[in-house]
């Protein structure tokens, strides 16, 4: 077959809107979640992207291309529910419980009313999997889970599966293999069992859970903050159109309650500073060169960041907010240098100063006038900072692009009333109660 006749790989980004046409809430959420093709997993999965600190849907183009449209829709909704239910960011299960944990998550999702008929099952299987079996989802009331009712929580299914594994082990005289043996499908763990020693009849997750519970804590905090905002906007769109698609009223309430959880802005601030750091390698005779110990000196690696702190002078950034923010900067001064930049429609060039740990200088409003975010951005771009934090009420037009990573810090009122949309981080500084 010549190159010009090769089939075009399935591109989920081109089909997502069509597939989600009947699901306005998930369609709105889908627009805010990256969908990345990869052959590193056999099917599909979700994770927190460690570099971008946001949720990402990974999919194998060949796998997705083989599914019929209704099953493609089901896979999309299944993966989005993994994110909404915080399965991706939950704790990793104890040794020996990974497979049980994975199945419990899937049962909690696949048993929802809106998932009925949308996933491969006993009567309507999907394409052949690497283990030689047709793809089937873990469904309550079907196959090895025929005795389990639908509509239960992940925690409920987890305990039920543990009981099933225990009963199997006792029935086999203590010689059963609860985790099973075999090639596996789903997360690639090789834990899909076959035969009488497997209480789950060879069933396993069809999607990858491999990166669930992975990632640095502050990266996860940022991703969850972004997700909360994405879900909120998707819910607002669904409410405005009075159309949530197949999402049940109970699930709507659950989703709305989940987005009310608070994110620790201090962890997000620390992560931002750390990811802005540059590495500096210097030769030093005090360190041993492991490769040439008697010829060359060792290397000392230091990490430091130059962070610009632009403070909106409109009066919306109150003293309490400034006090909490700079109190936190005091803890980060050893790993970064902070330059304070007061601004309104212009930058107060004669008011700029380097803030150092332990200094008593009080940051006050020294200017007045309208707000323009272009002014501090141009200054930061010109002076080669590693990161840029803007304290503001968000009440001004969207600024020009930043050459370094930029983060916005505001209060809840500022977050709710911001004039522009952005993919950059917008973090609310919550007062301590």
145-163 mean pLDDT? 95
pLDDT in tens, 18-56: 999 999 999 999 999 999 999 999 999 999 988 778 899
Q: Which residues pair with 173 in a beta bridge?
A: none
**Domains along the sequence of the chain with CATH:** 7-258 (no CATH), 265-428 (3.40.50)
132-153 mean pLDDT? 92
Q: Identify the helix (H) or strand (E) that includes residue 208.
A: none
Q: Identify the helix (H) or strand (E) that includes residue 46.
A: strand 44-49
More confident residue, 132 or 62: 62
Judge whether residue 168 has pLDDT over 50: yes
In terms of Cα–Cα distance, which of 268, 293, 277 is closest to 409? 268
pLDDT in tens, 93-110: 877 789 999 999 999 999
Judge whether residue 394 has pLDDT over 80: yes
Give the pTM.
0.72
d(CA 13, CA 27) in angstroms, rounded, equals 12
pLDDT band at 92 (very low <50, low <70, confident <90, very high): confident
267-281 mean pLDDT? 80
First-to-last CA distance in the chain? Answer: 68
More confident residue, 220 or 410: 410
Which ranges of 33-113 does DSSP label H, i.e. alpha helix?
61-66, 69-84, 98-110
d(CA 139, CA 387) in angstroms, rounded, equals 47
């Amino acid at each position: 077959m010549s190159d010009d006749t090769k089939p075009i790989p399935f591109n989920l980004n081109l089909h997502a809107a069509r597939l989600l046409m009947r699901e306005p809430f998930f369609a709105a959420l889908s627009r805010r979640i990256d969908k990345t093709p990869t052959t590193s997993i056999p099917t599909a999965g979700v994770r927190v992207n460690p570099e971008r600190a946001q949720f990402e849907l990974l999919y194998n183009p060949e796998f997705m291309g083989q599914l019929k449209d209704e099953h493609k829709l089901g896979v999309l909704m299944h993966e989005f529910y993994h994110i909404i239910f915080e399965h991706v960011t939950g704790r990793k299960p104890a040794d020996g419980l990974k497979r049980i944990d994975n199945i419990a998550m899937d049962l909690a999702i696949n048993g929802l009313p809106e998932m009925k008929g949308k996933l491969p099952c006993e009567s309507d299987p999907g394409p052949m999997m690497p283990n030689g079996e047709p793809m089937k989802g873990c469904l309550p009331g079907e196959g090895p889970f025929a005795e389990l009712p639908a509509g239960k929580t992940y925690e409920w299914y987890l305990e039920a599966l543990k009981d099933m594994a225990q009963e199997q082990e006792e029935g086999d005289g203590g010689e059963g293999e609860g985790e099973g043996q075999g090639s596996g499908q789903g997360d690639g763990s090789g834990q899909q069992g076959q035969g009488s020693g497997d209480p789950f009849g060879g069933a396993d997750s069809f999607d990858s859970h491999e990166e669930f519970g992975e990632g640095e804590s502050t990266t996860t905090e940022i991703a969850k903050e972004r997700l909360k905002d994405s879900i909120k906007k998707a819910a607002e769109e669904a409410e405005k159109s009075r159309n949530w698609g197949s999402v049940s009223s109970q699930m709507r309430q659950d989703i709305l309650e989940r987005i009310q959880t608070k994110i620790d802005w201090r962890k997000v601030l620390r992560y931002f500073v750390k990811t802005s750091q540059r590495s500096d390698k210097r030769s030093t005779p005090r360190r041993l060169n492991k490769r040439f110990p008697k010829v060359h000196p060792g290397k000392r690696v230091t990490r430091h960041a130059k962070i610009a702190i632009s403070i909106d002078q409109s009066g919306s950034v109150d003293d309490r907010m400034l006090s909490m923010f700079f109190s936190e900067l005091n803890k980060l001064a050893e790993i970064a240098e902070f330059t304070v930049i007061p601004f309104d429609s212009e930058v107060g060039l004669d008011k700029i100063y380097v803030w150092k740990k332990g200094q008593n200088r009080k940051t006050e409003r020294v200017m007045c006038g309208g707000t323009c975010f272009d002014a501090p951005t141009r200054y930061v771009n010109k002076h080669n900072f590693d990161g840029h934090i803007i304290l503001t009420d968000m009440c001004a037009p969207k600024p020009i692009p930043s050459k370094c990573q930029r983060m916005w810090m505001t209060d809840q009122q500022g977050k709710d009333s911001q004039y522009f949309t952005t993919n950059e981080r917008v973090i609310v500084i919550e007062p301590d109660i």
